[in-house]
Amino acid sequence: MNYALLVLASPASGLSNLSALRFAEAALARGHKIHRVFFLDQGTSSGLATSVYPQGEADPVALWAELGERHNLDLVLCISSALKRGLLDASEAARYERQAQTLHPAFSLGGLGLLVEATAEVDRLLTFGGPS
Amino acid sequence: MTQTKKVLLLTRHAPYGGSLARAAVDAALAAAAFEQAPSLLFMGDAVLQLVSDQDASAVGTRSHGRVLESLPLYDIDQVFVDQTALLEYGLTSHDLAIDVILLDDPAMRQMLADHDHILSF
């Protein structure tokens, strides 16, 4: 089956973000396809290369990046959610004259159109929700 | 993009406490811009997003009601609302910024069942 994931949950709080990651791992292990993982709202912090998680805690940024690189996943952060959280790739850092690129290279920035395209494309779209 | 799937956007949060309410509406507008007109269902606290004459200037953001008023311009004409939640907040459809269709619980269940994808905000 072809899946897309919509991740609204922050990687820094709660379990929902890690649940999305575990779902992706399990689906890929069973031979399913992940068309795209779209990170929106607080979920965009999943791509923040400068975040540091304490020893003994899962590091969702590293785990997503590793999974993405291993399976060549399309990990996309909503650009407007990302920019206001300080997540910039090289071209956005240059455009807004900020000091550094903060987006992990396993991720990319993109518009909501990529979420829309994914919903049209896939068999199942799963939302991993934000705060209730 | 041809419309292949029936998509329901489900919003459950009040307008200003967090950013999820706005994220849901932005997703709806983006879908409509790509000719994938979604259904929009306001459940629970989300009915507060619809209250008319919101003034959000004191909290440093745009009026959410104003954003919702742009939905018809994107051909999102059918907006569905959790009737029970509206009642719990002492609101009627006359208090709302846009025209809506009220749904009781069985009708909402049917709506969830009728769509291919549910994006839950």
Percent of chain B at pLDDT > 70 equals 100
CA distance B120 to chain A (A): 6
- Say whether pLDDT at B12 is over 90: yes
Q: Which CATH class is domain A2-128?
A: alpha beta
Q: Which of B61, B64, B60 has its CA nearest to residue B97?
A: B64
Distance CA A76, CA B5 (A): 21
Those of residues 26-45 in B touching chain A at CB distance below 8 A are 26-27, 30-31, 33-34, 36
The answer to whether the CB atoms of A113 and B33 lie below 8 A apart is: yes
How much is the pLDDT for B17?
86
Selecting from 3.40.1260.10, 3.10.620.30, 3.40.1350.10, 3.40.1390.10, what CATH number does the domain B7-120 have?
A: 3.40.1260.10
Q: In sequence order, what are the residues at sequence separation of 6 or more whose Cβ sits closer than 8 angstroms to the Cβ of residue A113?
A: B30, B33, B34
| B14 touching chain A per CB within 8 A | no
Which are the contacts of A21, defined by CB distance < 8 A and separation ≥ 6? A60, A63, A64, A67
Separation in Å, CA B102 to CA A54, B41, B117: 48, 10, 21
Which residue does chain A place closest to B26, by CA atoms?
A112
- CA-closest candidate to residue B100, choices B49, B57, B55, B61: B49
Once rounded to an integer, what is the mean pLDDT over residues B9-22?
94
Per-residue pLDDT of A56-71, as tens digits, reads 999 999 999 999 999 9
pLDDT at A132 over 70: no
Q: Note whether A116 contacts B30, CB cutoff 8 Å.
A: yes
Structure ipTM: 0.90
pLDDT at B4 over 90: no
List the domain boundaries for chain A: 2-128
Mutate to test the interface with B, among A112, A123, A124, A128 (most CBs of B within 10 A): A112
CB contact under 8 A, B30 and A113: yes
Across A25-54, average pLDDT: 98
Residue A14 has pLDDT above 80, yes or no: yes
Q: Which sequence positions of A are flagged as catalytic?
A: 78
pLDDT value for B2: 78
Q: How do the domains of chain B map onto residue ranges?
A: 7-120
Query: What gap in Å lies between CA A125 and CA A118, rounded to an integer?
Result: 8
Q: Is pLDDT of B3 > 80? A: no
| C-alpha dihedral sign at B31, B19, A38, A113 | positive
- Tell me the mean pLDDT in the region B10-34: 94
Predicted confidence at residue B78, as pLDDT, reads: 86
- Identify the helix (H) or strand (E) that includes residue B8: strand B7-11
A-chain CB neighbours of B76 within 8 Å are none
User: What is the tens place of the pLDDT at every residue in B49-90?
Assistant: 999 999 999 998 999 999 999 999 998 888 999 999 999 999
